[in-house]
Structure 1
Amino acid sequence: MSRFRVRYVTAARLLAEALGARLAEEPDLALAEDGPPADVLLVDAVGACPGEGPPPAARIVVLATDDAPGSAVAAARAGASAWLDHRCSADELLRVLRGVARGGAFFPREVQAEILDALRTDAAGGEPTDPFARLTGRERDVLHALADGLGNREIGEHLGMSYNTVRTHTNEIFRKLGVHTRVDAVRTLRGAG
């Protein structure tokens, strides 16, 4: 059985050693530290890419260390084959590494609509003229929750995201709609309907 070589590009040495120990237990995966090029590069979303660039044949898996909106979109735009939240289980990470090594791709269901919206906008040649079309799927969810009168903590609980992520989405909504308050954003939404 051939082994897929995985290189973990990170500044976190402890995590790299832990991954190496786990991969040593797997018959079809090995940590690539030197020698032949890796089949898969596992990188932190904070941009720990090697200066010389990934080997041409390597596929990229991003292990997102934050839940900032647009992280998955940026990974897809950069050519990543997969994007995973750093809180995933070791078993899920191994499943994704195997799938990507075999030519597959993985983006969690909750970010797929946002990625498709962004890639469609890119393909259309830029920003859409309808301000609501510029909102990602999650931003539209937050806007509708705002219209329902929910506060940031309530929105976070309802949509399964952190308070800071809700704030970031709200600020992006304001910027994209050209408004400065929640009331203005909700008024814009109701005026469009």
Structure 2
Amino acid sequence: MISVAIVDDQPLIRAGLRMAVESQPDLRLAGEGADGAEAIALARAHRPDVMLLDVRMPGVDGIRAVPGILAAAPATRVVMLTTFDLDEYVYAALRAGASAFLLKDAGPEQIIAAIRQVAGGDLLLAPALTRRLVEEYVARAPHATDDGRLAALTERERDVLAALAQGLSNVEIGARLHVSEGTVKTHVSRILSKLGLRDRVQAVIAAYELGLVVPGGGHPPR
């Protein structure tokens, strides 16, 4: 069972998300909240696998709540709910530790698939949206530079990290590198451990920050 918490200040949004969660036998509602303070309390009390968290709420907003949520429940995957696919406030959530982003107008099937994907840690949620957000985030950050962390990775791990940053799934990475999906998962796990990263979204950010790939999905010039 995947436990899911829902935090949004709009009752109708919460109701729609609740219905989507409760319609599935493998999903369980862990609780609901209406602001960031309640989100942190939910994380501390229930430690949900996934938290659907609105970006803009009165009081403590979603972005400011993320660090508190992860401090209370480090294993929780935070999915930010946003109205616009390039909401400027979402960029800060990347560094705060959010795992993924979901548009509020997504249909029930998308919501359910998103929850399962982020809980499984396999695919970046909404890859096109996430890549655009990451690239915009990186464009606003200082110039990409290798601070020595890449030295900890093998050549194959660097190839896998670059492929992650281009939005490829484990299956697609395996096909490109001629290795099994299981081998790719092992490489991804080692990359996250060596670089001290939470998940694949954070790995994508690191790939851009370290200059391993450049906005647009390509490799930097040699």
TM range (shorter): 0.5 to 0.7
Rounded to whole Å, the distance in 1 between the matches of 2:14 and 2:136 is: 34
What percentage of residue pairs aligned between the two structures are identical?
28
Q: Does 1:109 align with 2:132?
A: no
Distance of aligned partners of 1:85 and 1:51 in 2 relative to their CA distance in 1, 3 Å threshold: closer
State the aligned residue count: 124
- The structural deviation recorded for 1:115 is 1.4
Rounded to whole Å, the distance in 2 between the matches of 1:8 and 1:110 is: 21
Q: Pick the structure with greater CA Rg.
A: 1
Rounded to whole Å, the distance in 2 between the matches of 1:68 and 1:117 is: 9
- Which residue number corresponds to residue 98 of structure 1? 116
Name the SS for the 1:41 alignment partner: strand
Instruction: Output one character per residue of 1:66-110: Cα deviation in whole Å (capped at 9) or x when no partner.
Output: 455434433322221111221211111111111001113324415
Partner residue of 2:68 out of 53, 64, 67:
53
Distance of aligned partners of 1:107 and 1:72 in 2 relative to their CA distance in 1, 3 Å threshold: farther
Alignment of 1:171-182 (within 5 A): none
Structure with more contact order per residue of length (Cα contacts < 8 Å, sep ≥ 6): 2
- The structural deviation recorded for 1:120 is 6.4
Alignment of 1:27-176 (within 5 A): 27-33=25-31, 36-46=46-56, 47-48=61-62, 50=65, 53-54=68-69, 55-104=73-122, 105-110=124-129, 112-119=131-138, 122=141, 124=143
User: What TM-score, normalized by structure 1, do the two folds share?
Assistant: 0.53
**Runs of 4+ deviating beyond 6 Å:** none
Q: Which runs of 5+ in 2 are unaligned?
A: 32-41, 146-222
Q: Which runs of 5+ in 1 are unaligned?
A: 127-193
User: What TM-score, normalized by structure 2, do the two folds share?
Assistant: 0.47
Distance of aligned partners of 1:51 and 1:92 in 2 relative to their CA distance in 1, 3 Å threshold: closer
